[in-house]
Structure 1
Amino acid sequence: MTGDKKSYFIFKDFIAILDLERYLRGNEIVIISGIRRCGKSSLLKLIAGQLEGVKFYVDFDDIRLANFEVKNFQDLQDLVTELYREELDKSETGQVYYFLDEIQNVPLWERWFNNLYKESKKVFATGSNSQLLSSEISTFLTGRNKVLRLFPFSFKEFLRLKGIEITGEEIEAGLLTSSGKAEIFSYFLEYFESGGFPLVLKSGDLELSRGYFEDILTKDVLVRYNIKEGKVLKDLALFLLSNVGRAHSYPTLRNITGIKSLSTIKNYIDYFRNVFLLYQVPRFDYSLKKQKVSSSKIYTVDNSFLKTVVFNFSENKGQRLENLVFVELLRREKEPYYHSEKKECDFVLREGLRVSEAIQVSVNLNNPETKKREIEGLKEAMEAYKLDSGLILTLEEEGTLDAGGREIVVKPVWKWFLE
């Protein structure tokens, strides 16, 4: 973000949380993956600013490179030699760093990366397609790469943007005043509405996320997968966004959307997942066969879409809060499922072969029926997976509840985000 001091400090604070040092050292190729506009390109530039040597940047999303071919890889290397000949001659190490944006747009990139690795060139690249990156990395670059998954800003990062440094430990120790808590809660409500896209937060223009959504559908899905039925695809995306946190089977989606082919529905959802727009959460079952045929829940990567893209969704705070919690679980590298038997629990987290945590999300527990439903669903999950405690995340309520010898912790979600 050269020349823009404010945005530089936004991302400077942001990357402090990422512990970039482990990605800078070593010769491994570093792949930064994530949805469009989450800060991947800015992160590349910031990494470049921390390294000494020849630095070569290419944006493969540039329309002028639309016809890039395999033979042009050598052209790029020749260009580096031509442009930086004098600098390379003076350098003791001759170290060259390649910074390559949206690499999934060019053919056979992984083989070129392999060659660069063998030539001791350090490569940093970004990609906006999870399926493409994972399949090609696993085939050609196993053991030669590090993957950094990037998301829109977390609440901690949002607070850093606002100039606030606070940890969960400080809050638990009572070091935060009542006015301080009120300030952080007001910021959480803002984050709850606006999501975490860096430029949206920097500009204060929430409508930017609508443009992001359209770009993702057009550039990353319709064009890449050569889909002709653009309206059908968009209608499915809008329906899924309108129903985050709700379970749907493919036959149910067929009946609702009118898309006759189950395989088409599955493919479309896979495409949304590949570009990090949507995520699919399965029902937990110890039987993988049963798990695969069960209905799944859908969530989206950023809450801003639930304000700018979906109609009449803004007041459904429960679903939006649940979506926010889901994305934070991904950031923490958890493996979330949902529990559903006689009752339902929003999230159960698997570690290895066992479920380690059960979490319910509710705006509040003021309504007796809501409170009963949340407790019973959580209690059933705790009993099913032999857990001694469970968690209910709310906007403001806090305390503990007894569930037949098991403890239920009720915690404000903003505190949980700061842990």
Structure 2
Amino acid sequence: MALLTKIQVLEILNDWNYWQKGPEAFDEYLDRPKYQDKIKLFRDSGEIIVLSGIRRSGKSTLLKLEIKALSEIVDRKCLLYVNFEDLRLYNCDNEDILSLIFATYRENINPEGEVYLFLDEVQNVSGWEKWVYTLHELNQAKIYVTGSSSKMLSSDIATALSGRHLSIEVYPLTFAEYISFKGLNCGNLLDYTSKKIQINRLFNEYLEFGGFPKIATLRAELKHEDLISYFNTILVKDIAGRYNFDYNKLENLTYYLLSSDTKQNSINSISKALGYNYATVESYVNALKEAYMLFSIRNYDYSLKKQLKSDNKYYSVDTGFVNAVSFRFSENMGRLYENVVFNELKRRGYEIFFLNQNNSECDFIIKERNEITGAYQVCYDLNNNNLQREVGGVVMACKNFGLDKGYIITESRSELMSFDGIDIEVMAITQFLLF
């Protein structure tokens, strides 16, 4: 490792921090109140705050919004932000750089005051966990860290930080956040009914280009190129480079999974389809999940052993990726709808499964506190040809778990039904996403 001089470190810190900048420096950052409120709540705990999520989901912006909030109550020199994506820090990859940065800051910016320390993409620094834990235990700083890996939430990190941290997973925008970014407010059903034209137009954008915050603010002709850039950067930097994977195989596997997302697959079936060995596919799929590119769910079974042996269904973190690299937007709206509903349920904090039983399937069942509490079917166009199948899947799931009511989510149809003693609410996907 080539360690920097203190002068070089000070130059880097001055570029990124807000010590000499006016309030207008924060104007570019759009609020995400649910995350900001949670961060504020965690701030009062005094524990280390860990934000993890896919690259470009908004973690850095949330740190800067927290810096903005703190700048109104403490001296800005108490706020130290370090971005480990800065190329000048690229070869500084162990905890020595953390010690050098903190010492330089203390000597030149804030010798004695309290410190709020923000370490962005800190997973690039080996040994950061013990360094952060020590600083926290010595009460030398209040610490925030971010990383683009689910390992930030792993048991290894929890052990290293000795239970001294609180975690937040950060995702691309929900549809409710997306319309807010676009300047449209929809706080109740009256708003919803009166603004349906604008809501539907924005939903079509959201479905096609996804919810990455920066993508939401770009002109349409720039969105696709940026999505491809995000996609390639995640594969190269967060997966292939980190684990020394074969990039071509990783890219082919990712394309395959995004092109067949929402369908049942197993590691064995993927291995046969691509001609890769089982171990390679398993490690690549796990890495894609670790980088938050993909999520998977299993067929629910009361037997955990049977559940773990079942096929998976895979979902992309963002439909923008699906459209950018797999199929044309108009080819399979049903799959896109299912992916959007999955992401919404995930962001609401549910544990999610599908249920395939006796030739009948329900797309999603949700679990809260060890209890199944909901059954959801997703059908782009509910009509006489598929009504029996779609309703049958929901009824089957509800009867399995003693639920009185299930849901079918469609493009625009909205009504209440009752079949075989089970109430079914059919609702437009935009209503589901907003309320």
TM-score with structure 2 setting the length = 0.88
Give the Cα separation in 2 of the matches to 1:164 and 1:316.
28
Query: Offset at 1:148?
Result: 1.3
Please give the secondary structure, in 2, of the residue aligned with 1:363.
Answer: coil
Match for residue 184 of structure 1? 199
Residues 196 and 8 from structure 1, CA distance in 2 versus in 1: closer, same or farther, beyond 3 angstroms?
A: farther
Residues 313 and 251 from structure 1, CA distance in 2 versus in 1: closer, same or farther, beyond 3 angstroms?
A: farther
Match runs of 1:173-252 below 5 Å: 175-176=190-191, 178-204=193-219, 205-207=222-224, 208-227=226-245, 229-252=246-269
Query: Offset at 1:8?
Result: 5.3
One of 78, 98, 102 as aligned partner of 1:77: 102
One of 43, 53, 61 as aligned partner of 1:42: 61
CA contact (8 A) 1:210 1:308 kept: yes
Residues 140 and 398 from structure 1, CA distance in 2 versus in 1: closer, same or farther, beyond 3 angstroms?
A: same
CA contact (8 A) 1:104 1:133 kept: no
Query: Offset at 1:235?
Result: 0.5
CA contact (8 A) 1:14 1:160 kept: no
Residues 390 and 178 from structure 1, CA distance in 2 versus in 1: closer, same or farther, beyond 3 angstroms?
A: closer
Please give the secondary structure, in 2, of the residue aligned with 1:138.
Answer: helix
5+ unaligned residues in a row in structure 2: which ranges?
1-15
Give the Cα separation in 2 of the matches to 1:416 and 1:177.
11
Worse-superposed segment, 271-280 or 157-166: 157-166
Give the Cα separation in 2 of the matches to 1:265 and 1:313.
27
Worse-superposed segment, 157-166 or 341-350: 157-166
1:115 and 2:140 aligned? no
1:304 and 2:320 aligned? yes
CA contact (8 A) 1:365 1:371 kept: yes
1:25 and 2:44 aligned? yes
Match for residue 376 of structure 1? 392
CA contact (8 A) 1:13 1:160 kept: no
Match for residue 138 of structure 1? 158
Give the Cα separation in 2 of the matches to 1:203 and 1:123.
32
1:272 and 2:279 aligned? no
Residues 76 and 6 from structure 1, CA distance in 2 versus in 1: closer, same or farther, beyond 3 angstroms?
A: closer
1:105 and 2:124 aligned? yes
Residues 7 and 148 from structure 1, CA distance in 2 versus in 1: closer, same or farther, beyond 3 angstroms?
A: farther
Residues 126 and 197 from structure 1, CA distance in 2 versus in 1: closer, same or farther, beyond 3 angstroms?
A: same
Per-residue CA shift, 1:360-394, capped at 9, x if unaligned? Answer: 0011212x232221111111111111111100011
CA contact (8 A) 1:389 1:409 kept: yes
CA contact (8 A) 2:158 2:165 kept: no
Give the Cα separation in 2 of the matches to 1:114 and 1:200.
35
Per-residue CA shift, 1:229-266, capped at 9, x if unaligned? Answer: 2111111100100111100012211111111x222211
Give the Cα separation in 2 of the matches to 1:161 and 1:83.
38
Give the Cα separation in 1 of the matches to 2:368 and 2:272.
35
Give the Cα separation in 2 of the matches to 1:95 and 1:4.
21
CA RMSD in angstroms comes to 2.1
CA contact (8 A) 1:13 1:157 kept: no
Worse-superposed segment, 75-84 or 136-145: 136-145
Per-residue CA shift, 1:167-216, capped at 9, x if unaligned? Answer: 3xx20xxx237542222222222212221111111113222111101000
Match for residue 62 of structure 1? 86
Please give the secondary structure, in 2, of the residue aligned with 1:329.
Answer: helix
Worse-superposed segment, 339-348 or 114-123: 114-123
Residues 132 and 31 from structure 1, CA distance in 2 versus in 1: closer, same or farther, beyond 3 angstroms?
A: closer
Residues 355 and 223 from structure 1, CA distance in 2 versus in 1: closer, same or farther, beyond 3 angstroms?
A: same
Provide runs of 4+ in structure 1 moved above 6 Å.
Answer: 1-7
Give the Cα separation in 1 of the matches to 2:107 and 2:370.
55
Give the Cα separation in 2 of the matches to 1:223 and 1:416.
39
Match runs of 1:329-344 below 5 Å: 329-342=345-358, 343-344=360-361
Give the Cα separation in 2 of the matches to 1:84 and 1:257.
55
Match for residue 262 of structure 1? 278
Give the Cα separation in 2 of the matches to 1:316 and 1:6.
44
Query: Offset at 1:340?
Result: 0.3
Match runs of 1:285-300 below 5 Å: 285-300=301-316
CA contact (8 A) 1:10 1:161 kept: no
Aligned residues: 405
Give the Cα separation in 2 of the matches to 1:144 and 1:132.
13
Give the Cα separation in 1 of the matches to 2:310 and 2:192.
47
CA contact (8 A) 2:122 2:128 kept: yes
